[in-house]
Amino acid sequence: MANDPQTGDALISLRGVTKVFGEGPTAFAALKGVDLDIARGDFVAVMGPSGSGKSTTMNILGCLDVPTEGQFLFHGHHVETLERDQRALLRRRYLGFVFQGFNLLARTSALENVELPLVYRGEEKAARRAAAMAALDKVGLADWWDHSPAELSGGQQQRVAIARAIVTHPDVLLADEPTGNLDSERSIEIMELLTDLNRNSGITVLMVTHEPDMAAYAHTIIHFRDGLVERTEVTDGPGVKA
């Protein structure tokens, strides 16, 4: 995909993005004109108090919702003009998702959980099993492929969830509070894994977090307040360097 001249080399750009829920006197503007650029290969933490607009923004970036107004460009293409089915194809091809609650299927093995995105793609069994094993190996769980979620620790479950997110080789990994259900030691393990995937696999990471210690792993921290980007800071973390 070619870059859009409006956004230069940015992988993702939002321009004047608003999001209004409801109509008339009960309408609520969750986003009030957000502008931001995310470079390919960056590690970005998104922070802000409840109701600041960070989750709404991440839903738009993940093609789970659409702006009320404004432009959303991905690889230079206008996502806000896509139909629902087209956005679904974009998600399956370019995006991976990790959630606070792991969202694993309880009665299936780690391998089968990781295979799931490839099942949706219609890939052959042998190919998807090989890809799933490679993803489990990348997160350090190749020896646990036949264990169910109930047989895994919280940190191991999140590693399976990350393997499932990267098995399709996405350009972008969107992580929503990925350490929210983990203790400090497991949280550090997950953040080191995300750092490795960003640095060595070239995956752009977008992470929502309330925890400053976790945000410190990112290279760019975007602070939201009252439906707008309040400020952006650059750290010494991984990701694209200026």
The answer, yes or no, to whether residue 16 has pLDDT greater than 50, is yes
Residue 132 lies in a domain: yes
Q: What pLDDT was estimated at residue 242? A: 53
The answer, yes or no, to whether residue 15 has pLDDT greater than 60, is yes
What are 108-149's pLDDT values in tens digits? 999 999 999 999 888 999 999 999 999 999 999 999 999 999
What are 138-169's pLDDT values in tens digits? 999 999 999 999 999 999 999 999 999 999 99
CATH of the domain at 219: 3.40.50.300
- Euclidean distance between CA atoms 45 and 212, whole angstroms: 9
Q: What pLDDT was estimated at residue 43? A: 97
Number of structural domains the chain divides into: 1
Average pLDDT of every residue of the chain: 92
Q: What pLDDT was estimated at residue 100? A: 86
Residue 138 lies in a domain: yes
Look at strands 204-208 and 43-47 and give their pairing: parallel
For residue 55, what are the CA distances in angstroms to 20, 49, 142, 178, 201? 14, 10, 33, 14, 26
HEC-encoded secondary structure of the chain: CCCCCCCCCEEEEEEEEEEEECCHHHCEEEEEEEEEEEECCCEEEEECCCCCCHHHHHHHHCCCCCCCEEEEEECCEEHHHCCHHHHHHHHHHHEEEEECCCCCCCCCCHHHHHHHHHHHHCCCHHHHHHHHHHHHHHCCCHHHCCCCHHHCCHHHHHHHHHHHHHCCCCCEEEEECCCCCCCHHHHHHHHHHHHHHHHHHCCEEEEECCCHHHHCCCCEEEEEECCEEEEEEECCCCCCCC
Residue 239 lies in a domain: no
The pTM (predicted TM-score) of the whole model is: 0.90
Residue 241 lies in a domain: no
Which structural domain range is residue 133 located in?
A: 10-234
What are 42-96's pLDDT values in tens digits? 999 999 999 999 999 999 999 999 999 999 999 999 999 999 999 999 998 999 9
Residue 4 lies in a domain: no
Q: pLDDT category, 4, cuts 50, 70, 90? A: very low
Residue 240 lies in a domain: no
Q: What pLDDT was estimated at residue 6? A: 42
What are 169-222's pLDDT values in tens digits? 999 999 999 999 899 999 999 999 999 999 999 999 999 999 999 999 999 999
